[in-house]
Amino acid sequence: MEIIDAIILGIIQGLTEFLPVSSSGHLELGKAILGANAIPEESLLFTVVLHFATALSTIVIFRKDILDIFKGLFQFNWNEETQFAVKIIISMVPAAIVGFFLEDFMIVFFDGAIIIVGIMLIVTAVLLYLADMAKTTDKGVSFRSAFIIGLAQAVAMLPGISRSGATISTSVLLGIDKTKSARFSFLMVVPLIFGKVAKDILGGELSFESSQMAPMTAGFIAAFVAGLFACTWMIQLVKKSKLTYFAIYCLVVGLIAIGWSLWG
């Protein structure tokens, strides 16, 4: 992989991790166009590295919230911080189960299945449109809604289903305040990403050649910087109910992806 390709893919990951357009789907499209998926093992490792970078950008943006979560975990009082920490844990359960038991099955979808990416992007477009049409409320995240949002996150492990789009849309459709929806959506994924990286490291799955260090470093930095920008921007967009624009974008890209797969 060339450094310029790594930077391009890093920027794609950093932007699309937070914008509701499916980072995994765009990475698969990007790798198909650039030819960066020639070696599946390297492709999977590079994807993990880029997700790790965007997780760090989330920590930077929500450092105060994350500190409150840790305080809640180590407190014995059933206060707001502790309850929020428990809700984050509850939301992780569905995706953790899918990742642990169905990881080998999921990898099949990350091997150039562009037509699946296109179909799932159209599904994302429908979710975003429905969320934008939902009435605005001031409800918070309950324990029940945390689990339902977690189910949406598990489904979003498919390439083309936007994780932020699925979780934010589900939250809004459940009547949760849009700002709270975005905050919960971005925070709930951080433990899962670090857990995935730790699992791969301990399992010896992240082997790579030293010649790939420079491209992976460039991609990591690009994803981190782009993630900082996109996370901040997305919070403002959700507040202003601009999800329909992303729905149109996902619909168009989804149709292009399907056309590319069938006639490219």
Distances 110 to 26, 157, 211, 246 between C-alpha atoms, Å: 11, 10, 24, 23
Whether this prediction's pTM lies above 0.85 is answered by no
Beta bridge partners of 163: none
Question: Which token pair is 253?
Answer: 């890209």
pLDDT at 39: 41
Say whether 139 sits in a helix, a strand or coil: strand
Task: Tell me how far apart the alpha carbons of residues 152 and 150 are, in angstroms, rounded to a whole number.
Answer: 5
Q: How many domains does the chain have?
A: 1
The pLDDT tens digits for 6-34 are 888 888 888 877 888 876 777 677 767 76
Residue 91 has pLDDT above 90, yes or no: yes
Q: Is residue 263 classed exposed, middle or buried when 0-12, 13-18 and 19+ CB atoms within 10 A define those classes?
A: exposed
The pLDDT tens digits for 41-72 are 456 677 778 888 988 998 999 888 888 777 76
Q: How confident is the model at residue 2 (pLDDT cuts 50, 70, 90)?
A: confident
* Residue 166 belongs to domain spanning: 3-263
